Copies of this chain bind each other. A is one copy, B any other.
Amino acid sequence: MDSPARVAGTVRPGGRTARVRAAVLQAAQDELVEHGFHGLTMDQVAVRAGVGKTTLYRRWGSPAGLVTDLMVELAEQSSPHADTGSIEGDLRANAMAVVEAVNDGRLGATFQAMIAAATCDEQAAAALRAFYLRRIEEWAGVVELAVGRGELPPGTDATEVIRAVSAPLYYLLVVTREPVTAEAAERSVRRALAAAKAGAFIP
């Protein structure tokens, strides 16, 4: 991909492409956080990233294309699942990762903006869905490990357990709009685990 991006440096094309992408996604995230998805314009992102509009349109097409790539990048940057040796520890790590993400000024605002965008834009919804399905799939590994260790019954639906840990936290965040605390994370883990041990996640 040759790129007419107006960035300094004489790095090789691959490096420049990666640098342009990083600058564009950072600018897109900044604009998303400050103005929301409906205030996200290609022109402002181009200015903020210091890249040409031609590049921006050619590589990302639209604001929806920008947030789709941003969600891919955020999923890639996310850490792999925990492996603390117990399902309780691993689910707690998962729940605390959600608590930290949603309470992080920039990251939290990014997800709230995407959740808002997804209510009225199908591409934004698809980007959001892809991000979460990828994260759920990654963390499902901790449930599989727990089944292997005999902590949870065979046949436990791993992705459903991960969803069950996150759901009460997002419910606080976007539905009842209450603080998403470490205590809420602890309660969520305790309940998902009790249900899982009772076999309620076996289809």
Binding site for B on A (CB under 8 A): 36, 38, 112-113, 115-120, 125-126, 128-129, 132-133, 136, 160, 163-164, 166-168, 170-171, 174-178, 187, 190-195, 197-201
Contact = CB atoms under 8 A, between A and B. Distances in A.
A136 B171 CA distance: 12
A174 B174 contact: yes
B198 A128 contact: no
A121 B106 CA distance: 17
A120 B76 CA distance: 27
B115 A175 contact: yes
Contacts of A36: 119-120
A168 to B, nearest CB: 4
A118 B174 contact: yes
A201 B191 CA distance: 7
A28 to B, nearest CB: 18
A119 to B, nearest CB: 4
Contact of A171 (B117, B166, B190): B166
A178 B159 CA distance: 14
Contacts of A118: 174, 177
Contacts of A38: 38
Contact of A129 (B176, B192, B194, B197): B176
